[in-house]
Amino acid sequence: MAKILSIDVGGTKLSYCIINEKGEIISKIEKTSTPKNIEDMKKIFHKIISSYEKDVDFIAFATAGAVNLSNTKVESSTPNLPEGYNSIDFSLLSKKHVYVENDANAAAWAEYKTGAAIGDNNTIIITLGTGIGGGFIIDGKMLRGKSGRGGEVGSMKINSKGRICTCRRKDCWESYASGTGLKTSAVELALSDDIFKTSIFKDKTPDEITTYDIIEGIKKNDSYSKKVFEIWKNDLITGLIGLTNIFDPESIVISGGMGQFINTSEIEEKINSEIVVSPVKIKLAKAGNLAGMIGAALLAFQKFSV
Ligand SMILES: [Zn+2]
């Protein structure tokens, strides 16, 4: 059975292990901090690859940033990774075949091959965290677009209120339906609705209210917190309805930290009552936080094993 060395390059840590062609992890998972400069980054790649490459068939990377169509380079600037990262040609890092994929795409592929979306040839994986990421599997293939940057679902514009996103554009879906979006809705509601005057958080300044506060507030039956969460949920559902109508997927899989706060069957029912295509299933992710490494390994295997 083929073995793949898979390396996940995140903004703060770098993880790696050996994975077989079924997506099973067959070695200890090693971790180290992500180097802050490009020379140290190249050194650590060299060190990891030279100690494993004789034992593996292929090498895979899951990384932050947009990856080119030939899966050899990271093309976008990635604020958490060192300057010059874009200059690395991953295919030259080893004599073995090397494959690099965007981490959200890789995680989506793992969800499709080994996780919640097994057998769903049309599925969308939505990562709800401080932002919104996504990966689209269309007719069993990864959606890449003309440049490899397709699937930037967090930047989908969902209304025209003029809310400023962290990317400085206005009204991106992620400025409403991410963890950051929930916090912004909490501030907006506190400043605009008298419901805040009777809230358990009324003595806080609106800016201090956290996502965690809102979740705690709901448990304590706080009307303000419940209203904030309803606004957030509606913004989430609005985006999911649009995606369902366009892609007609078998499933939408929700991953990321905010996923734990949603009731999938309630959201599924709301979406299915408003769409023009056949019903969609809303599922929670199963592949876990190793999904990036697993997906990159499976994609490398698929590309190089033929
Ligand atoms: Zn944005």
Q: What is the pLDDT of residues 173-204, one digit of tens each?
A: 999 999 999 999 999 999 999 999 999 999 99
Position 51 pLDDT exceeds 90? yes
CA of 145 to the centre of ligand 1 (A): 19
High-pLDDT (> 70) share of the chain, %:
100
Q: Provide the edge-to-edge strand list for the sheet that holds 58-63.
A: 30-33, 13-20, 3-9, 58-63, 97-102
Ligand 1 midpoint to CA 28 (Å): 37
Looking at domain 3-111+289-304, what is its CATH homologous superfamily? ATPase, nucleotide binding domain (3.30.420.40)
Contacts of 202 (CB under 8 A, 6+ apart): 196
Report CA(185)–ligand 1 centroid distance (Å).
16
What does the pLDDT look like over 28-44, one tens digit per residue?
Answer: 999 999 999 999 999 99
* pLDDT > 80? residue 224: yes
Q: Where residue 216 falls among pLDDT bands split at 50, 70, 90?
A: very high
pTM comes to 0.90
pLDDT of 166: 87
Q: What is the mean pLDDT of residues 243-255?
A: 97
Q: Which two tokens stand for residue 76?
A: 């976008």
> What's the CA-to-centroid distance between 153 and ligand 1, angstroms?
10
pLDDT at 306: 78
Give ranges for CATH 3.30.420.40 in the chain: 3-111+289-304, 120-285
Q: What is the pLDDT of residue 271?
A: 98
Quote the pLDDT of residue 79.
73
Bridge partners, 6 (sequence order): 17, 60
Q: How far is the CA of 164 from the centre of ligand 1 (A)?
A: 8
**Tell me, what amino acid is at 282?**
I
Residue 165 CA to ligand 1 center (angstroms) comes to 5
pLDDT the model gives residue 189: 97
Q: Please tell me the predicted confidence (pLDDT) of residue 73.
A: 95
Over 90: is that where the pLDDT of 244 sits?
yes
What's the pLDDT at 228? 98
**260 alpha carbon – ligand 1 mean position (Å):** 23
Distance 302 CA to ligand 1 centre (A): 33
Report pLDDT for 245: 98
Parallel, antiparallel, or unpaired: how do β-strands 97-102 and 141-142 relate? unpaired
pLDDT at 227 over 80: yes
Tell me how far the alpha carbon of residue 237 lies from the centroid of ligand 1, in angstroms: 18
CA of 125 to the centre of ligand 1 (A): 18
Each residue of 116-168: pLDDT tens digit?
999 999 999 999 988 898 999 999 999 999 988 889 899 999 989 999 998 89
Cα(255)–Cα(291) distance, integer angstroms: 10
**Scanning the structure block, which residue is given the tokens 């390396």?**
7
**φ/ψ (deg, to 5) at 47:** -65, -45
What pLDDT shows up at residue 261? Answer: 93
Distance from Cα 203 to the centre of ligand 1, integer Å: 31
Distance in Å, CA 168 to ligand 1 centroid:
6
Mean pLDDT score, 258-275: 96
Residue 66 confidence (pLDDT): 87
Q: Give distance in angstroms: CA of 209 to centre of ligand 1.
A: 22
Kindly report the average pLDDT of the chain as a whole number: 95
Q: What is the pLDDT of residue 12?
A: 86
Residue 80 has pLDDT above 80, yes or no: no
Task: State residue 158 phi and psi, 5-degree precision.
Answer: -110, -15
CATH ID of 120-285, from 3.40.630.30, 3.10.20.30, 3.30.420.40, 2.60.40.10: 3.30.420.40
